Amino acid sequence: MRGVAGRHKQYVEVIVDVGTDGSHTPLAIVWGDGTSYPISRVLDMRQASSRRFEGAGTRYTVQVGKQATHLFREGDRWFVEAKEVPLP
């Protein structure tokens, strides 16, 4: 699925801590090639939909390195609004 502004909906694996109350705290994003990006902290969590793509659920604003980004939980699946990589 393609969106605007050079981004696409990319489903990813997420390492998650599930609390005794059922809450989900994402700890790392794992890309399709196996590269893991640790989440240093969760800045915000709210019910929201992606502005670029279909799908509603929980939107996490997370800190990965020095960059803040959105991570979405849509039912049992997770996705990010990934940047398009231009072909050489």
**Does this model's pTM top 0.85?**
no
By CB neighbour count within 10 A (0-12 exposed, 13-18 middle, 19+ buried), where does 27 fall?
A: middle
pLDDT digit string, tens, across residues 33-74: 999 999 999 999 999 866 666 667 899 999 999 999 999 999
* Percent of residues, the chain, with pLDDT higher than 70: 81
In this predicted structure, what is the pLDDT of residue 11? 94
Domain ranges across the chain: 7-79
Identify the pLDDT of residue 16.
97
Q: Given the structure tokens 């980004």, which residue do they identify?
A: 69
Question: Residue 80: exposed, middle, or buried by beta-carbon count in 10 A (0-12, 13-18, 19+)?
Answer: buried
